[in-house]
Amino acid sequence: GAGVSQTPSNKVTEKGKYVELRCDPISGHTALYWYRQSLGQGPEFLIYFQGTGAADDSGLPNDRFFAVRPEGSVSTLKIQRTERGDSAVYLCASSSDRASPLHFGNGTRLTVT
């Protein structure tokens, strides 16, 4: 069946611009996660949704980062006033419940120039 889909796969933007990254989770998965991964490092937790609500947003680095999941399915990670330090691979994962294994997408590689 279809896995987690993330678009775009690559995004290049200029410093100061606004970007949106999209995640289509596996159908029926109520739990959705956003992670950020830098080269040579493990994924860094950003935010967790249970249904439509952000149950844990403790990983968002600052108020330039925001994520939504209005209908409990597709989620969008939004980054305002991008900085070069935001450059990384942004990973989305979903699971049927919080205790179940995570299913990851292949990520969006964000490059801020």
- Minimum Å distance from CB 55 to another protein? 10
Interacting residue ranges for another protein, rule: CB under 8 A: 4, 35, 40-45, 91, 93, 98-99, 101-107
- Minimum Å distance from CB 7 to another protein? 14
Task: Considering the complex, state which of residue 17 and residue 98 has its C-beta at the smaller distance from another protein.
Answer: 98
Could you give the 3-state DSSP secondary structure of residue 33?
Answer: strand
Task: Considering the complex, state which of residue 80 and residue 96 has its C-beta at the smaller distance from another protein.
Answer: 96
CB 109 within 8 A of CB 9: yes
- Minimum Å distance from CB 23 to another protein? 11
Task: Considering the complex, state which of residue 28 and residue 70 has its C-beta at the smaller distance from another protein.
Answer: 28
Whole-number Cα distances in Å, 3 to 49, 78, 80, 83, 106: 18, 22, 28, 30, 10
Could you give the 3-state DSSP secondary structure of residue 86?
Answer: helix
The 3-state DSSP composition of the chain as helix, strand, coil percent (nearest 5) reads 5, 50, 50
Task: Considering the complex, state which of residue 2 and residue 99 has its C-beta at the smaller distance from another protein.
Answer: 99
